[in-house]
Amino acid sequence: RGLYAPFESGQKSGSADVYEHEMPGGQYTNLLFQSQQLGLSGRWPAIKKAYAAANNLCGDIIKVTPSSKVVGDLAQFMVANDLTEQDVRDQAESLDFPVSVVEYFQGY
């Protein structure tokens, strides 16, 4: 296990909050890493909560690649811009959504 330590996310065990955000296991660590790269690591609990909201906005979709990435990108966008689920609904026409989200809804 020591050999892989430099590549670990720091997540040592699972968490029951998966029942609240429904984030796939593999995406959990990837999104945690991405949030750190975006300077949002201190807001990880908010990202997990926003993930559930983003999933609702996307229609409670089955989350597999690429749909799980879309939900994750939208969640990080929401947190970075301090947007609630209702804010996204109300301001959708004026928001500059991530490309992955726009392309997903365009059918790519």
Count of H-run helices and E-run strands, the chain: 6, 0
Q: Read off the pTM.
A: 0.85
Distance, CA of 104 to CA of 69 (rounded, Å): 10
Q: Quick check: 32 and 9 in contact, CB under 8 A?
A: yes
Question: Does position 100 have pLDDT exceeding 80, yes or no?
Answer: yes
pLDDT band at 66 (very low <50, low <70, confident <90, very high): confident
Model confidence pLDDT, tens digit, residues 13-51: 667 677 677 888 788 888 998 999 999 989 999 999 999
